[in-house]
Amino acid sequence: MKAFPRPNPLPRAGDGERPAPWLQTLRIEMREFTRADFDDLLRLDGDPRVTKFVNHGKQSSPKDIDAQLARAAATYRTYYGLGAWYATRRDTGAFIGWFALKHCPPTCDVEIGYRLRHEAWGQGFATEGATELVRYGFDDLGLDRIIGVTERGNRASQRVLLKVGLRDAGYGNYYSRRLRLFVADRAARPDVGT
């Protein structure tokens, strides 16, 4: 597992060039989003199986995807080391979805998130990518706390969050909704100080 040094200043998503991967796991590469990723995101967010627990089950419109890409570009420029990243399989280069470490409104908490194509479900990609982002958040960014939030019925994502080291913390108010809250604290990590 390797996180590559981030260029400074961060390149802007949306300029048409595909950035090199900045983070790799055994099977996944992550890179910044660009405008060229529009169609992949539209297909991802157009699958009702994928959006069942996202945005009240509503699929994204082209306008929504434009806004997502604009937010990604702004996040890269504004919050060093945070963002949402386009994820592909290392063996085939196939798009599998995205992973994120980002601020979770209305708090200052940093949230881990992921959204994967249905074809990538059940293969351990969510756990593998999220595990590496938790490590990156604590070890490379020096975060003290990382959260994950899910809809009440999203058991698959809840299992992933538990597997990657977050603990069930009940419920919290995020995104103007009451969501299931999972938390990992830097001080509670078993490898701290070793």
Q: Report pLDDT for 176.
A: 86
Domain for residue 92, yes or no?
Answer: yes
Domain for residue 193, yes or no?
Answer: no
Q: Report pLDDT for 58.
A: 83
Bond prior to 9 in cis (omega within 30° of 0): yes
Q: Report pLDDT for 14.
A: 44
CATH number at residue 13: 3.40.630.30
Give the Å distances, CA to CA, from 100 to 46, 181, 191, 192: 19, 16, 23, 23
| Residue-number span of the structural domain to which 33 is assigned | 2-188
Domain for residue 194, yes or no?
Answer: no
Query: Half-sphere exposure of 178 toward its Cβ, with a 13 Å CA cutoff?
Result: 3
Q: Report pLDDT for 125.
A: 98
Q: Report pLDDT for 191.
A: 60
Q: What is the pLDDT of residues 181-191, one digit of tens each?
A: 999 999 887 66
The domain total for the chain is: 1
- Give me the residues of the chain with pLDDT under 50, please: 4-15, 192-194
